[in-house]
Amino acid sequence: MKPMSGTERQQYDILPGKQYPGGATLVPGGVNFSIFSHHATSVELLLFADADSPLPFQIIPLEPRFHRTFFFWHVLVKDLPVGTHYAWRIDGPGDVEHTGYRFNRNKVLLDPWARAVSDKLWNHSHACGEDDNTTTSMRAIVVDNRYDWEGDQPLAVRPEETIIYEMHVGGFTRHPSSGVTHPGTFRGVIEKIPYLKELGITHVELLPVMAFDEQDVPAGVAALGLKNFWGYSTHSFYSPHPGYCISPDDGSHVREFRDMVKALHRAGIGVILDVVFNHTAEGGADGPTINFKGIGNEAFYHLDPEDRSRYRDFTGCGNTVNCNHPLVARFIVDCLEYWAREMHVDGFRFDLASVLSRGEDGNPLYHAPVLWNIEFSEALIDKRIIAEAWDAAGLYQVGDFPGYRWAEWNGRYRDVIRRFVRGDQGLVEEVASRISGSSDLYQPRDRLPANSINYVTCHDGFTLLDQVSYEHKRNEANGEDNRDGCNNNLSWNCGIEGPTDDEAIAGLRRRQTRNFMAILYLSQGVPMMLAGDELLRTQHGNNNVYCQDNELGWFDWGLIETHGDMLRFTREMIAFRKRHPALMQARFLTGSNREGQILADITWHGRHLHRPQWGDPSSQILAFTLAELEPGEGHLHVMMNMGKDEVRLQLPLIPERHWFRAIDTAEPPPRDILTLPEQRPVMEHSYPVQGHSIAVFESR
């Protein structure tokens, strides 16, 4: 007997259904579907047999009398099996210039609450314009949400003890050298957990894993065969990205993501998601219609009040989500709570988070409802919430982001440390503020050192090796004539642009990378490092590999052999930080003595003890003594010389204690960082600190 085609499958009976919850939900007797659309006049549910079915096997028109409650449209499909693919058609009034409505019944729409989506037939260009795109649309998948977490619980890591590793799920294991069974997937990450655990980090921060449009790149970029690699083009905020799944066509997204989270938790590693609620993959007026444009364009996006066919763009990506519209704010908070409760993630980093502070008129609000609802959500109360506290329209809120619990990517830390290490003069006073937790930014509003996420490099910009090898970006491979990416990298090539056979320059570059890594882990606040920096991964001067799903953007595991010395240095720096609670203070340092201490909690020095060179326009030397926080920990003394020449600096005298050299970034590996058994006491009262180097001592 001939098997049934997609359009010949059985037709399922329906009931009115319920408005909550949104999306497709298994209920006794079938699947309940619900979607919001305030101004829709016609709604149809389309059911597809498989991911590659070009046409629906059943179309279910929703009758407003039975299937609409306020602005939610709903239906219960009896006995519908898990794994069914589905989508929506919605029609409504026009006059986009005055109303902002963009209804188009020719467009097949994704469910905003979809727990799993398929993009197997997706064609980005077919979703643009007015024509029908049924045969090339994305579809949602009915999934069974049941899962055995096997007792998995949130990790109990104090904020100040957090060490973040920013990584890309696909790029982490897609290189042939990874040796994993399923490269570029959530499962591939599981296979590399031993590496992460040995490195010593406490949390991975994953570049976007919510389903995104890989085809969302400029035409010139697409013509080169490149695609959206980083994932800052979200369309389905509840669904893990199908490209990171082994079996996305059968709706395995939820299970595979949970397997990864559970495995990471078992290894003591938390999961922070980089989330993109500031814009969506639908772009501007010429962009595709995927979901929100065809459901509630006038509510979900910031529109030009003079002409509502135009999008206000505070993101540089064509559109801006209207985050503080009541419905949109509720959608965002519900989504975050879903990932926290149902997917067990440990926190969120919000891309261009200042957009979330903008009211419906586009102006910033300190009491932005969505931000405070996130801060006060019971489901999120123990989760990390981290803001990239700026947007593309000039709103910069580092140190002043709304709320109290929000941590911030500290762009001011990044910038001044880059300048200091490259040798800029007269910065030591600000460097001291950043190293000690940026109290000038956070203490006045009763925040803590852990509100500062300290970093030198991240996905956006040069890698650590490129930071010391290039002064100019090399983004020609992106197909945008080198116009993309940041022009102000605050970098120094150490004398020659790009690769070199000059061993003196190569050695200086390696020393500089150790300087950056040492400062990062000697600073109060929360350190974040970019995956691959511990292996001196290069992008050959490309500071914007958003479209490079190839060896330029991948983690090269062969570098473990090539740059194992840097890997060792990074591991030992993390271990050094962990054994010194004084480097992970919960409260700001005061410069005064704690009870029972003979030393102030921190004492600053310059070329001479107790004489920091505040205000000296030529200063390149900063030193400090950090008193132990716990008995037996040992005091620390740190000397930083970012000038060219060697300087002999004094060591403070502490009764009944000796200083042991732990770190000297000018020493060749493995003497650049010493474990406790390898350390020897320093018998002199001073130490020669080489140019462009850092020396650190422990007292015992």
Q: What's the CA gap between 548 and 544, in Å, rounded?
A: 9
Cα dihedral sign for 52, 53, 56, 57? negative
First to last CA, the chain: 84
Q: Is the dihedral of CA 459, 464, 465, 468 positive or negative?
A: positive
Q: How far apart are CA 596 and CA 581, in angstroms?
A: 17
Which residues have a Cβ under 8 Å from the Cβ of 231 and sit 6 or more positions away? Answer: 168, 207, 208, 209, 210, 212, 241, 276
What does the pLDDT average to over 470-476? 98
pLDDT of residue 189: 98
Amino acid at 138: M
pLDDT value at residue 4? 46
Q: What is the pLDDT of residue 585?
A: 98
In tens, the pLDDT along 214-273 reads 999 999 999 999 999 999 999 999 999 999 999 999 899 999 999 999 999 999 999 999
Structure tokens at 568: 């060792």
Domains of the chain as residue ranges with CATH: 6-141 (2.60.40.10), 588-699 (2.60.40.1180)
Q: Where are the beta strands (DSSP E) in 379-487?
A: 384-387, 407-409, 452-454
Check residue 598 and give its pLDDT: 87
Over residues 85-102, the mean pLDDT reads: 96
Asked if residues 638 and 626 have their Cβ atoms less than 8 Å apart, the reply is yes
What is the pLDDT, as a whole number, of residue 1?
Answer: 35
Say if residues 344 and 315 touch (Cβ distance below 8 Å).
Answer: no
In three-state secondary structure terms, 690 is coil
Report how far residue 508's alpha carbon sits from residue 514's, in angstroms, rounded to the nearest whole number.
10
pLDDT digits (tens, 9 = 90+) for 545-580: 999 999 999 999 999 999 999 999 999 999 999 999
**Judging by DSSP bridges, how do beta strands 452-454 and 407-409 pair with one another?**
parallel
Hey, what are 358's tokens?
Answer: 């903008």
Q: What is the CA radius of gyration of the chain?
A: 27
CA 610 from centroid of its chain's CA atoms? 40
Per-residue pLDDT tens over the stretch 273-301: 999 999 999 999 999 999 999 999 999 99
Determine the Cα–Cα distance for residues 429 and 613; give it in Å rounded to an integer: 8
Per-position b or e across 132-150, b if 16+ CB within 10 A of its CB: ebbebbbbbbbbeeeeeee
Contact 114, 236 (CB under 8 A): yes
- Mean pLDDT, the chain, rounded, equals 96
The predicted structure's pLDDT at residue 154? 87
Name the token pair of 602: 């921190």
Q: Which residues are catalytic?
A: 351, 388
For residue 688, say if its preceding peptide bond is cis, omega within 30 degrees of 0.
no
pLDDT per residue as tens digits for the range 413-439: 999 999 999 999 999 999 999 999 999
pLDDT for the residue numbered 2: 40
Q: Provide mean pLDDT across the span 496-509.
A: 97
Q: Distance between CA 170 and CA 183 in Å, rounded?
A: 7
- Residue whose tokens read 């047999």: 49
**HSE of 150, CA atoms in CB hemisphere, 13 A:** 7
Strands 636-641 and 647-650 come out as unpaired
pLDDT-based confidence at residue 8 (cuts at 50, 70, 90): low
The mean per-residue pLDDT over the stretch 88-107 comes to: 96
In 3-state terms, the chain is what percent helix, strand and coil (to 5)? 25, 20, 50
Please give the pLDDT value at position 7.
55
Tens digit of each residue's pLDDT (9 = 90 or more) over 164-177: 999 999 999 999 99
Determine phi and psi for 419, rounding to 5 degrees. -70, -40
Measured CA to CA in angstroms, residue 446 lies from 354, 356, 404, 406, 439 at distances of 20, 22, 8, 12, 10
Q: Is the CB of residue 17 less than 8 Å from the CB of residue 75?
A: yes
- Tokens at residue 672, please? 């650049």
Nearest to 558 by CA among 531, 532, 530: 532
C-beta separation of 157 from 202 below 8 A: yes
pLDDT tens per residue, range 646-682: 999 999 999 889 999 999 999 999 999 999 999 999 9
